[in-house]
């Protein structure tokens, strides 16, 4: 019996040892002892974030409306500052002065065929205490619409994306001189007035259709989570695809004495007056439209036949704004590093909201605060990060990533030298891990996700996501791939939150993290995004808030403590190869389609198949595009793959010979890794928008938040700019070769460091 026990103990010890060996494998950038210590500290960290505190913080942050320039926005920033200081962080506030228009006049009325005056107001709900704070609420509007006063026939344009205008052309309908009404969805809202103006419209209304955001999805608030009859989605319509941040100070910080563009020279304002409305206000306008019945895919869930117009509805739209400068309050807090203090790990979430914002952004801000409290706690227990950790609570995200962009522009030089990684979050909810970022961090963040447990299922958030991806895969091939791969793919980032200036302007490797997918979202940017809604319909017990804090906080610690920054270039080269293949297919498809359509025009197909009682305009013939030369891109992708393999080889060697590797000798490699994402920037920036410099990721010029990968080439093909596509293939290839050479050198440095 006794001997048996000893044997059992021996086996347990052996298993534990094997387990530790496995952990070492899974913590790239750490020595064996370092990995064990790290896992121990991370375990202590993950036990600290507390749903009760998340709940209290969310309630506190969302207690009153706190948009840019409001008293409670400043009060929140000062409270966040005091929290950081209480937890032992070195914290301060940085101010900027930005253009933030607020409504002076808003009028929307139908003048023909019947009189109707739009309400343009969200009524308070009796059970929801903060919905009645009307004197502090911003009216419903789209920020950075120009002033305007127009009366014109109304035309329904579906989602108002470029393809919808192609369809209108086929139907023989022009929006020239008209006011368009588009529904929210399919593109970022700022794209809708932009495309409308390009087609000659004089005004733009954007409404939430119940098909996408209302009773078609479920019960409406306050009975359910979905958008009620008079709920309105506020939001910015600044053309953020040109640059983010203060419209008056592109590329430089909006300090008090900064040089500012005169308003008339600002390119990111809309060209036509724009106003968001509820489906309650939209229905009488849409019901009055005549003209052809909208195609099936254009119809929403209102109880009316959807007509396109023009006729008989004529509307009057008037909006004017106070074009004021408002102060921003960015809270910046620092935990100094020990051995590598000049290498920084950044973490941020915004604190400003459109109204009360219990979900957007307070749910994410509360998680960030719990991480900061926990890290402060660990420091009191003796933990010291190698690298400096900087936590940022941004102001002015909602109008256009103002606080993060101005700070990034002000500190550009030091950030490009010192900032290794920026980790962002925003709204948080119940459900699955949602992640995106630089592919150099794909392997790293997979490792973190494997070590965080889903609060509602007894498995890691990584495993839960993997199983869902298998369940959603449409082919056997995809399922096989998912079961075979050791890392899940992360999404590429477009825009829509504060990572943009870091990743796409400065070239700092970035991640965006959050949870969601299991709660309905009908209160986005309305007065109903508040504590009552959040605690009835979202992460009601704040356990996913804790999970976000555990995920982002673990990532911060693991990056801050590693001997060698855990960058990996294999996932990067695989992602780039995938994008390059997509581009070749895209160009080939574009060509084939044009050839086929030209043939159909010649055959008289469109005239023969059109219903003679309906108007249908055949498309015009188009010149057949030339073949593009993808060879330089293919060669560069091959070079990148080879470099990634070499770096991986050096890494494996370093892991094997770790006994001989001195962490101090890794300084050069770490510094090279910090700059590795910057080698993916092009000096001249993207065509027509030089503020965006990343050659792999950018928000689409005609999708907004939606990402365009290898944007310079992809958008040239989509917009049929064949010569530009050819030129940009060469630019991208040059950038990738520059990255490959940098990785080669980092691999050599790493090998030398092991030898030392």
Which two three-digit tokens encode residue 425?
């979050």
Q: Is the CB of 349 or the CB of 682 nearer to Zn ion?
A: 349
Segment near Zn ion (CB under 5 A), from 97-105, 150-158, 359-367, 640-648?
A: 359-367
x-or-dash string of contact with Zn ion, 328-347, rule CB under 5 A:
--------------------
Q: How far apart are CA 304 and CA 511, in angstroms?
A: 44
Q: What is the DSSP string of 352-382?
A: --SSS-IIIIIIHHHHHHHHHHHHHHHHHTT
Q: Is the CB of 288 or the CB of 393 nearer to Zn ion?
A: 393
Which two three-digit tokens encode residue 317?
């739209």
The least CB distance from residue 253 to Zn ion, in Å, is 22
DSSP 8-state class, residue 223: T
Under a CB-based contact definition with an 8 Å cutoff, are residues 754 and 653 in contact?
Answer: yes
Q: How far apart are CA 54 and CA 24, in angstroms?
A: 33
SS3 state at 199: coil
The least CB distance from residue 185 to Zn ion, in Å, is 18
Segment near Zn ion (CB under 5 A), from 138-146, 299-307, 354-362, 616-624?
A: 354-362
Q: Is the dihedral of CA 749, 750, 753, 755 positive or negative?
A: negative
Size of the site for Zn ion (CB under 5 A): 3
The least CB distance from residue 361 to Zn ion, in Å, is 4
Residue 232 CB coordination number (10 Å): 27
The least CB distance from residue 353 to Zn ion, in Å, is 8
Segment near Zn ion (CB under 5 A), from 81-89, 112-120, 426-434, 672-680?
A: 426-434
The least CB distance from residue 514 to Zn ion, in Å, is 10
The least CB distance from residue 735 to Zn ion, in Å, is 31
Q: How far apart are CA 524 and CA 427, in angstroms?
A: 10
User: Which of residues 153, 193, 361, 385 is near Zn ion by CB under 5 A?
Assistant: 361
Q: How far apart are CA 89 and CA 385, in angstroms?
A: 13
Q: How far apart are CA 361 and CA 394, in angstroms?
A: 10
The least CB distance from residue 236 to Zn ion, in Å, is 11
Q: CA distances (Å), 232 to each of 213, 274, 524, 600, in order?
A: 10, 14, 8, 44
The least CB distance from residue 436 to Zn ion, in Å, is 15
Q: CA distances (Å), 12 to each of 1, 36, 107, 573, 723, in order?
A: 16, 17, 75, 41, 66
The least CB distance from residue 426 to Zn ion, in Å, is 4
Segment near Zn ion (CB under 5 A), from 59-67, 361-369, 638-646, 667-675?
A: 361-369
Q: How far apart are CA 90 and CA 84, in angstroms?
A: 8
Q: What is the DSSP string of 631-650?
A: HHHHHHHHHHHHHHHHHHHH
Q: How far apart are CA 369 and CA 349, in angstroms?
A: 10
Q: Is the CB of 70 or the CB of 728 nearer to Zn ion?
A: 70
Q: How far apart are CA 648 and CA 659, in angstroms?
A: 18
Continuous H helices in 436-569: 442-450, 461-472, 476-484, 500, 531-537, 543-561
Q: Is the CB of 145 or the CB of 404 nearer to Zn ion?
A: 404
Nearest 5°: phi and psi at 515? Answer: -120, 150
Q: Is the CB of 122 or the CB of 360 nearer to Zn ion?
A: 360
Under a CB-based contact definition with an 8 Å cutoff, are residues 250 and 402 in contact?
Answer: no
Which two three-digit tokens encode residue 295?
């195609």
Segment near Zn ion (CB under 5 A), from 154-162, 198-206, 207-215, 352-360?
A: 352-360
Q: Is the CB of 343 or the CB of 363 nearer to Zn ion?
A: 363
Segment near Zn ion (CB under 5 A), from 284-292, 334-342, 425-433, 564-572?
A: 425-433
Q: Is the CB of 361 or the CB of 436 nearer to Zn ion?
A: 361
Radius of gyration in angstroms for the set of CA atoms belonging to the chain, rounded to a whole number: 27
Q: How far apart are CA 41 and CA 378, in angstroms?
A: 8
Contacts to Zn ion from residues 428-467, by CB under 5 A: none
The least CB distance from residue 359 to Zn ion, in Å, is 8
Segment near Zn ion (CB under 5 A), from 175-183, 422-430, 458-466, 582-590?
A: 422-430
The candidate with the shortest Cα–Cα distance to 369, out of 125, 667, 61, is 61
Q: How far apart are CA 658 and CA 662, in angstroms?
A: 8
x-or-dash string of contact with Zn ion, 618-657, rule CB under 5 A:
----------------------------------------
Q: What is the DSSP string of 6-43?
A: HHHHHHHHHHHHHHHHHHHHHSTT--HHHHHHHHHHHH
Q: Is the CB of 100 or the CB of 215 nearer to Zn ion?
A: 100
Q: Is the CB of 365 or the CB of 678 nearer to Zn ion?
A: 365
Q: How far apart are CA 578 and CA 404, in angstroms?
A: 31
Nearest 5°: phi and psi at 202? Answer: -110, -5
The least CB distance from residue 461 to Zn ion, in Å, is 21
Segment near Zn ion (CB under 5 A), from 406-414, 418-426, 590-598, 725-733?
A: 418-426
Nearest 5°: phi and psi at 236? Answer: -80, 140
x-or-dash string of contact with Zn ion, 179-198, rule CB under 5 A:
--------------------
Q: Is the CB of 306 or the CB of 435 nearer to Zn ion?
A: 435
The least CB distance from residue 360 to Zn ion, in Å, is 4
Segment near Zn ion (CB under 5 A), from 195-203, 212-220, 421-429, 651-659?
A: 421-429
Burial (CB < 10 A; 0-12, 13-18, 19+), residue 657, is exposed
The least CB distance from residue 474 to Zn ion, in Å, is 31
Q: How far apart are CA 72 and CA 75, in angstroms?
A: 5
The least CB distance from residue 355 to Zn ion, in Å, is 12
Q: Is the CB of 361 or the CB of 566 nearer to Zn ion?
A: 361
Place of tokens 């990056």: 559
Place of tokens 């310079």: 712
The least CB distance from residue 424 to Zn ion, in Å, is 10
Q: Is the CB of 350 or the CB of 505 nearer to Zn ion?
A: 350
Segment near Zn ion (CB under 5 A), from 184-192, 357-365, 612-620, 665-673?
A: 357-365
The least CB distance from residue 397 to Zn ion, in Å, is 6
Burial (CB < 10 A; 0-12, 13-18, 19+), residue 318, is middle
Q: Is the CB of 514 or the CB of 700 nearer to Zn ion?
A: 514
Which two three-digit tokens encode residue 162?
């470029």
Segment near Zn ion (CB under 5 A), from 74-82, 326-334, 356-364, 415-423?
A: 356-364
Contacts to Zn ion from residues 302-321, by CB under 5 A: none
x-or-dash string of contact with Zn ion, 362-391, rule CB under 5 A:
------------------------------
SS3 state at 227: coil
x-or-dash string of contact with Zn ion, 32-51, rule CB under 5 A:
--------------------
The least CB distance from residue 582 to Zn ion, in Å, is 29
Q: How far apart are CA 320 and CA 38, in angstroms?
A: 56
Segment near Zn ion (CB under 5 A), from 214-222, 341-349, 424-432, 483-491?
A: 424-432
Q: Is the CB of 190 or the CB of 447 nearer to Zn ion?
A: 190
Q: How far apart are CA 176 and CA 202, in angstroms?
A: 7
- Maximal C-alpha separation, the chain: 96
The least CB distance from residue 144 to Zn ion, in Å, is 17
Q: Is the CB of 343 or the CB of 427 nearer to Zn ion?
A: 427
Segment near Zn ion (CB under 5 A), from 172-180, 295-303, 419-427, 670-678?
A: 419-427
Query: Is 426 a binder of Zn ion (CB under 5 A)?
Result: yes
Q: Is the CB of 64 or the CB of 363 nearer to Zn ion?
A: 363
Which spans of this chain sit near Zn ion (rule: CB under 5 A)?
Answer: 360-361, 426
């Amino acid at each position: 019996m006794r001997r048996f026990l000893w044997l059992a103990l021996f086996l347990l010890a052996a298993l534990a040892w094997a387990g530790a060996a496995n952990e070492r494998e899974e913590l790239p950038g750490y020595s064996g002892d370092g990995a064990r210590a790290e896992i121990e500290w991370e375990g202590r960290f993950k036990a600290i974030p507390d749903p009760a505190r998340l709940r209290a913080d969310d309630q506190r942050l969302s207690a009153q409306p706190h948009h840019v320039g409001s008293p409670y926005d400043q009060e929140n920033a000062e409270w966040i500052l005091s929290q950081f200081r209480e937890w032992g962080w070195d914290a301060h506030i940085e101010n900027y002065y930005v253009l933030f228009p607020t409504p002076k006049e808003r009028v929307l009325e139908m003048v023909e065929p019947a009189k109707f005056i739009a309400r343009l107001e969200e009524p308070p709900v009796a059970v929801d205490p903060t919905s009645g704070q009307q004197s502090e609420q911003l009216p419903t509007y789209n920020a950075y619409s120009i002033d305007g006063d127009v009366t014109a026939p109304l035309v329904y344009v579906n989602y108002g994306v470029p393809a919808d205008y192609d369809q209108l052309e086929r139907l023989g309908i022009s929006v020239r001189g008209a006011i368009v009404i588009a529904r929210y969805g399919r593109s970022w809202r700022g794209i809708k007035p932009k495309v409308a103006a390009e087609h000659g419209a004089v005004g733009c209304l954007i409404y939430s259709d119940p098909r996408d955001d209302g009773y078609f999805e479920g019960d409406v608030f306050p009975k359910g989570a979905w958008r009620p009859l008079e709920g309105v989605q506020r939001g910015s319509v600044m053309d953020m695809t040109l640059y983010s941040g203060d419209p008056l100070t592109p590329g430089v910080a909006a300090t008090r004495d900064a040089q500012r563009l005169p308003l008339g020279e600002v390119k990111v304002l809309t060209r036509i007056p724009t106003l968001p409305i509820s489906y309650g206000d939209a229905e009488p306008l849409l019901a009055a439209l005549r003209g052809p019945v909208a195609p099936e895919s254009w119809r929403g869930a209102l109880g009316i036949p959807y007509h396109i117009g023009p006729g008989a509805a004529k509307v009057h739209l008037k909006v004017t704004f106070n074009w004021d400068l408002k102060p921003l309050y960015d809270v910046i807090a620092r935990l100094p590093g020990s051995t590598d203090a000049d290498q920084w790990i950044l973490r941020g979430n915004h604190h400003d909201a459109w109204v009360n914002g219990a979900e957007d952004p307070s749910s994410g801000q509360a998680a960030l605060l719990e991480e900061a409290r926990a890290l402060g706690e660990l420091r009191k227990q003796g933990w010291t990060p190698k690298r400096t950790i900087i936590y940022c609570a941004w102001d002015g995200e909602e109008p256009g990533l103002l606080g993060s962009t101005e700070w990034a522009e002000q500190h550009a030089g030091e950030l490009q030298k010192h900032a290794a990684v920026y980790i962002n979050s925003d709204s948080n909810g119940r459900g699955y891990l949602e992640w995106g970022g630089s592919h150099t961090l794909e392997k790293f963040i997979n490792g973190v996700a494997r070590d965080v447990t889903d609060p509602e299922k007894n498995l890691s958030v990584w495993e839960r996501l993997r199983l869902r991806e298998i369940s959603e895969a449409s082919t056997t091939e995809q399922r096989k791939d998912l079961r075979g791969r050791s890392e899940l793919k992360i999404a590429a980032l477009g825009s829509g939150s504060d990572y943009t200036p870091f990743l796409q302007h400065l070239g700092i490797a970035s991640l965006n993290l959050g949870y969601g997918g299991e709660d309905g979202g009908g209160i986005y940017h309305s007065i109903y995004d508040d504590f009552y809604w959040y605690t009835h319909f979202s992460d009601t017990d704040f356990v996913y808030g804790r999970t976000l804090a555990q995920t982002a906080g673990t990532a911060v610690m693991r990056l801050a403590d590693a001997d060698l920054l855990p960058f990996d270039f294999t996932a990067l080269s695989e992602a780039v190869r995938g994008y390059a293949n997509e581009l070749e297919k895209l160009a080939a498809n574009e060509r084939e389609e044009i050839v086929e359509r030209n043939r159909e025009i010649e055959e008289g197909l469109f005239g023969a198949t059109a219903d003679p009682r309906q108007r249908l305009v055949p498309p015009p013939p188009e010149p057949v595009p030339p073949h593009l030369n993808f060879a330089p891109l293919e060669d560069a992708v091959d070079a990148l793959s080879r470099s990634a393999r070499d770096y991986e080889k050096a890494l494996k060697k370093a892991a094997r010979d770790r006994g001989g590797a001195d962490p101090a000798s890794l300084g050069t490699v770490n510094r090279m890794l910090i700059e590795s994402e910057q080698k993916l920037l092009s000096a001249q920036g993207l065509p027509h928008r030089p503020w965006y410099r990343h050659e792999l990721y950018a928000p689409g010029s005609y999708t907004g938040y939606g990402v365009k990968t290898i944007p310079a080439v992809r958008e040239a093909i989509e917009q049929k700019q064949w010569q530009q596509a050819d030129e940009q293939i060469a630019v991208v290839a040059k950038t990738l070769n520059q990255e490959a050479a940098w990785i080669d050198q980092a691999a050599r440095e790493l090998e030398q460091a092991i030898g030392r």
